Chains A and B, each alone.
Chain A
Amino acid sequence: MNRQQFWKTLWLDVRKDYSLYLLLIPGMLIVLLFKYTPMYGIVIAFKDFNIFDGYAASPWVGLKHFEKLFTSPDFLLVFRNTLIISVYKLVFLFPLPIIIALMLHELKQLLFKRVVQTIIYLPHFLSWVIVSGLFIDLLSTNGGLINKLLVSLGMEPIAFFLDTSVFRGLLVTSAGWKEVGWSTIVYLAAFATIDPQLYDAAKIDGAGKWKQLLHITLPGISSTIILMLILRLGSILEAGTEQILVMYNPTVYKVSDVIGTYVYRMGLGNQDYSFTTAVGLFESVIAFVLVITGNALSRKYLQRGIW
């Protein structure tokens, strides 16, 4: 009986909204073709892949590559570094664009606001190699601006790039400088969905700027914040490999060697597709679990989520 009812309502719903389903079809086909068709490549995580033999002919090896990852002597250190750097970035760099966007929102000089918006997103267009070069110059112990400042204040110069106690901070700061302006754009667009009448009403009620911020602006962009946060959880094991590869050096490996950079160095000179695929799969599974959990928690406590 229940099952029958299920099929019946399903049929009715689908028939009522059939044009919505039709709209979904092109997108689903595109994703099916370009994303799902190559998915079979994941199997090589469980094989010893030989490029010339191909997928079918390469022999199965079970969990060998995962064992290699988990039992490697540096895995714990590398895993820990990944989490620490990623959490730092999450804690400091996730709220920052929101705060900056709110501050931009409060700017009243329209022209100034536009110019500022256009300027602060510039670093997004610089490659990490260039950004790293800029920071090396800025922080140099041999004529760098910051160290000149420190010395003139009577402090010891700091070799930021070579000092294990500040290097993670440097990674977070430079990533923030590069991407924060760009990341505000998502929130700036979200402000546009807020009903301006709400502000007018609040003013009539005598609510100050702070109250308006707490009760109108933030709730107005909360769904965007939640969406971004859940997606950000999915990349928790990506601590910024590209950035770190460019910026780190052996003296700070201890605090900055992450999964991505470790796999890169291990793979030098011999392309081990099976191993890198296994590492990728491990990261994907963690990401998937985190996204699902994040969404469930958000649904439970905030009554909204991606789905």
Chain B
Amino acid sequence: MKRKVGLTLLALLLSLSMFGCSSDGSSSSGKGKNSGLRMLMPYSRFDPNKDFMASYIQEKTGVQVNYEMLPAENFDEKLNLLVANKEPIDIMKLSSGQFYQLASSGALEPLDELIDEHGDYIKSAIKDSTWGSATIDGKIYAIPEAGSGASAGEALVVRQDWMDELGLEAPKNPEELYTVLKTIKEKKQIVPLTGAKDSIYGDIASAFGIVNDWEDQNGKLVHKAEHPRMKEFLSYMNRLYEEGLIDQEMPINTAAKAIEKFTSGKAAMYKLAWWNSTNTVNSLKQNFPDAKLSVIPYLQDADGKASVGINTGITWFIAIPKASKHKEEAMKLLNAKLAPDVFKGLAIGDEGVHHELKDGKYYPILPKFNEDLTNGSSYMTGTDEHKYPEYWQARVRKEPILQSYFEAFQKEAEGHLVIDPMSLAPPIDAVNKNKLKLMKLLDDNVLKFITGAEPVANYDQVLEQWYAEGGKDMVKQANDWYTNR
């Protein structure tokens, strides 16, 4: 009996180890099984090998690609594991942080020669000024994928029905905003302005001149943290907070929570992102059929000037790792995807099937557009910068509420857009290393000042800490680039 049990155990162990091997053979990691290219993309919620776009790309370019995604969380971790393992991936779509980390650890292939040889479409699709963001020490390490162009994302919206009831006008500047909020609080006994913990600045900060992360002041780059009017802004916000004019729970509100408070009538004003407009408007209508919503024009500073800050920096970088075994084929594919007609197909599908042209604007044909193209942007590997903003707006036009808020925001922002001067900066060591950490340090402390957990007078100490933990280097290296650009 003993022997029998022992044998059974042994057999079990053996079959288990077989199990490990055999299931790897059938996995989709693509090793050996099929000869296509391997492309790594950031997470999005769909099966990238079964999507319409995957077969569309194969059909248009004749190249078979096996797609893999990074996980939704711990994506940097997983990417590093793949690199540490010298995984032979051919194309990687990376965030700017990931791109810099891999490029500086020597894991990426310089692309200059490959682009010269196989990249005609790439060269005409991407503007000269954009290449800088992917260039390190004079060498190009990725194809920068520009986004949908400069547009305003958020604006303050207010319950117009209450404003009318109280006879209030839309506020034009911080002082008027204060009065409006105070009146709402006194008359309606509710939180006048709610917001989420991760969107502190926006409109109100802009009215104090704090428009973007970086600003050009007399030819010198100044970071938001060093902005001379930061304390003024914080004192103002602190006053709103102390007097109960901003939601006391703002430091713990998620975006969803802020929407919840606004749509359930617990708050009168909040900063709406246009992509949340459908949800917000529908929920508000359900709870208060008579509710009216209006967009507050962007607040003006003391000189009567309104500014809307935006960053047109590159979000995605398309790189070819050194470990790739098909570098030329990879570049050829990237080039083929930027051929004008192929790229248009990738962006908005086929005319008459996925989109139609009305008054010079592209409109989606529903539901076909949604069925086939919802995940399209995940497959993008570089965009035709001259055409993409125009194509992309088809996505906004698939729903009337969405479209109306997007357009309303853009109309308000027209002529007020201020582009962050660091948008087109190349990867800068001290910036890339410290950016996220310092942003968190600053935002955390800004929340402390606003809520009064720390007196605004202590801001200078925070700035000292910010400098000491890398801010000094960051500002210096950013300026080194800016003056020599």
Chain A directly contacts chain B within the complex, with at least one CB pair under 8 Å: yes
A residues contacting B by CB (< 8 A) are 19, 22, 26, 50-54, 136, 140-143, 159, 161-162, 164, 249-251, 253, 265-266, 268-271, 273
Q: Would A26 and B252 be within 8 Å (CB), given that A270-B433, A270-B437 are in contact?
A: no
List, in ascending order, chain B residues with CB within 8 A of A52's CB.
83-84, 102, 105-107
Q: Is the CB of A251 within 8 A of B105?
A: no
* Segment with Cβ contacts to A, from B37-45, B394-402, B408-416, B442-450: B442-450
List, in ascending order, chain A residues with CB within 8 A of B440's CB.
265, 268
List, in ascending order, chain A residues with CB within 8 A of B248's CB.
141-142, 159, 162
Q: Would A19 and B2 be within 8 Å (CB), given that A26-B9, A271-B101 are in contact?
A: yes
List, in ascending order, chain B residues with CB within 8 A of A53's CB.
105-106
- B-side interface mostly: helix
List, in ascending order, chain B residues with CB within 8 A of A140's CB.
249
Q: Is the CB of A250 within 8 A of B444?
A: yes
CB<8 Å pairs between A and B, sample of 26: A19-B2, A51-B80, A51-B83, A51-B107, A52-B102, A52-B107, A136-B249, A136-B257, A140-B249, A141-B248, A142-B191, A142-B247, A142-B261, A143-B266, A159-B248, A162-B252, A162-B451, A164-B453, A253-B448, A265-B440, A268-B436, A269-B97, A269-B432, A270-B101, A271-B80, A273-B80
List, in ascending order, chain A residues with CB within 8 A of B251's CB.
161-162, 249-251
> Beta-carbon contacts of B56-84 to A below 8 Å, as 1s and 0s?
00000000000000000000110010011
Chain A to chain B: the 9 pairs with minimum beta-carbon distance, closest first: A269-B436, A250-B444, A251-B453, A268-B436, A52-B105, A249-B251, A250-B447, A51-B84, A52-B107
Distance between Cα atoms of A50 and B102 in the complex (Å): 10
Q: Which residue of B lies closest to A164 (CB)?
A: B453
List, in ascending order, chain B residues with CB within 8 A of A253's CB.
444, 448
B residues contacting A by CB (< 8 A) are 2, 6, 9, 13, 76-77, 80, 83-84, 97, 101-102, 105-107, 191, 197, 247-249, 251-252, 257, 261, 266, 432-437, 440-441, 443-445, 447-448, 451, 453
Q: Would A249 and B252 be within 8 Å (CB), given that A269-B435, A271-B77 are in contact?
A: yes
A127 CB to closest chain B CB, in angstroms? 12
Q: Would A249 and B437 be within 8 Å (CB), given that A140-B249, A271-B76 are in contact?
A: no
Distance between Cα atoms of A51 and B77 in the complex (Å): 11
Distance between Cα atoms of A19 and B6 in the complex (Å): 11
B464 CB to closest chain A CB, in angstroms? 12
A133 CB to closest chain B CB, in angstroms? 8
Distance between Cα atoms of A251 and B454 in the complex (Å): 8
Distance between Cα atoms of A270 and B433 in the complex (Å): 6
Q: Is the CB of A161 within 8 A of B249?
A: yes
A40 CB to closest chain B CB, in angstroms? 14
List, in ascending order, chain B residues with CB within 8 A of A271's CB.
76-77, 80, 101
A14 CB to closest chain B CB, in angstroms? 18
Distance between Cα atoms of A249 and B107 in the complex (Å): 37
Q: Which residue of B lies closest to A132 (CB)?
A: B252
Q: Is the CB of B105 within 8 A of A50?
A: yes
Distance between Cα atoms of A50 and B103 in the complex (Å): 12
B337 CB to closest chain A CB, in angstroms? 28
Q: Would A250 and B261 be within 8 Å (CB), given that A162-B251, A270-B433 are in contact?
A: no
List, in ascending order, chain A residues with CB within 8 A of B257's CB.
136
List, in ascending order, chain B residues with CB within 8 A of A265's CB.
437, 440-441
Distance between Cα atoms of A234 and B257 in the complex (Å): 38
Partner of A142, one of B107, B249, B437: B249
**Which of the listed residues B77, B106, B249, B435 has the most CB atoms from chain A within 10 Å of its own CB?**
B249
Distance between Cα atoms of A54 and B85 in the complex (Å): 9
A19-B2, A269-B436 known; 10 new pairs, CB 8 Å cut-off, are A51-B107, A52-B106, A136-B249, A142-B249, A162-B252, A162-B451, A253-B444, A265-B437, A266-B437, A270-B433
Distance between Cα atoms of A127 and B16 in the complex (Å): 32
Q: Which residue of A lies closest to B446 (CB)?
A: A250
List, in ascending order, chain A residues with CB within 8 A of B101's CB.
270-271
Partner of B105, one of A51, A141, A250, A266: A51
Q: Is the CB of A249 within 8 A of B9?
A: no
B462 CB to closest chain A CB, in angstroms? 11
